[in-house]
A = this chain, B = another copy of it.
Amino acid sequence: MKKVINSTEAVVRELCGGMVKAYPDLISLDEDHSIISRKELNVNKVSLISGGGSGHEPAHAGFVGKGMLDAAVCGDVFASPSIMQVYHAILQTASDKGTLLIIKNYTGDMLNFEGAAAMAIEDDGVRIESVCVNDDVAITDIAERRGVAGTLFVHKIAGALAEEGASLQEVKAVAEKVIKSIRTMGFALTSCTVPARGNPTFDLGEGEIEIGVGIHGEAGIFRREMATASVIAQEIVDRIVTDLPYNADDEVALLVNGLGGTPIQELFILNNEVEKILRRRDVRVYKTMVGNYMTSIDMAGASVTLLKLDGELKRLLDAPADTIAWKTCPKG
């Protein structure tokens, strides 16, 4: 394992430190609890908190800021933050309108975010709701579906509605609408290497590709021989499109997300193929994003996310956002 780190124990602390030093105008860091929060909190809007294990950078701290999250709680690499970490994030960002927790569907995250919520409700009288993101179509059983790259559309759209001054129930409702409308699937050309483990989580031969991987080095649902970008896109997109399903004339937002080790040129080549498939199906792409948004440390591979849009979601998607990894300038 060759990594630009000082020690495996210091990874999360030092990466959080490096983020806040780079963007001190956008975020603040509570070093004791690895909480990255918005520089200027607003007690008159619903607070949005997300987070989870580290290793998905720029997620989630890269989405803290105006129009998106109020705080991201950073667990150890691929490990849920503790109940106390989340609890502190809730107290630090408490607002008069209440707090929405956006949780990716993993057992540890669900337990600890919900546990922290119970504590803050009972001990501190904070109003809290939560939503659970489960966009990974690689898993057949919907209850078991993991939350992956589609989560950032929840951050963006719920964040925009919160910024407009909506109530906790309204923000929760739009987050749930997004969750119902997103589907993601990923593939890997290599495993990732968790720093503390020091070697790849799974082995993949030079001629193989893993379809349906998670973002924590979970192996995929099947393995096939390496293929062209066109074939890979077809494998992935067909499963996504038929799952919701996304139909002809539906308008969608499309995210082609790198998993950390894939060059940006390959992400654009993949997008070129994804767009062709969607065009053949008459699914209309309203907005596309291509880049590293929800990574799996250094995994070579990518995921594709579709979000079915309506007028409300388009408006909120286009609303201003000012974070490290997602900037939408105000119109005008």
Could you tell me if B18 and A270 are in contact, using CB atoms closer than 8 angstroms? yes
Interface residues in A13-52 by Cβ distance below 8 A to B read: 14-19, 21-23
Q: Which of B5, B17, B263, B271 contacts A295 (CB 8 A)?
A: B263
Closest beta carbon of chain B to A191's beta carbon, Å: 12
Answer yes or no: A95 CB below 8 A from chain B CBs: no
A262, A272, A332 — most chain B CB neighbours (10 Å): A272
Could you tell me if A264 and B2 are in contact, using CB atoms closer than 8 angstroms? no
Could you tell me if B302 and A21 are in contact, using CB atoms closer than 8 angstroms? no
Given contact pairs A18-B290, A22-B288, A298-B262, A269 touches B230 in the complex (Cβ within 8 A): no
Closest beta carbon of chain B to A8's beta carbon, Å: 11
Answer yes or no: A206 CB below 8 A from chain B CBs: yes
Interface residues in A31-76 by Cβ distance below 8 A to B read: 54-55, 57-58
Which chain B positions have C-beta within 8 A of A228? 5-7
Residue of B nearest to A59 (CB): B264
Residue of B nearest to A232 (CB): B4
Tell me whether chain A's interface is mostly helix, strand or loop, or mixed: mixed
Answer yes or no: A292 CB below 8 A from chain B CBs: yes
Interface residues in A232-261 by Cβ distance below 8 A to B read: 232, 256, 260-261
Write 14 A-B pairs (CB below 8 A) sorted by A numbering.
A4-B229, A4-B267, A4-B270, A5-B228, A14-B229, A18-B273, A18-B275, A19-B271, A19-B290, A21-B285, A58-B264, A327-B327, A329-B330, A330-B332
Binding site for B on A (CB under 8 A): 2-7, 11, 14-19, 21-23, 54-55, 57-58, 189-190, 206-207, 209, 226, 228-230, 232, 256, 260-273, 275, 285, 288-290, 292, 295, 297-298, 300, 302, 320, 322, 327, 329-330, 332
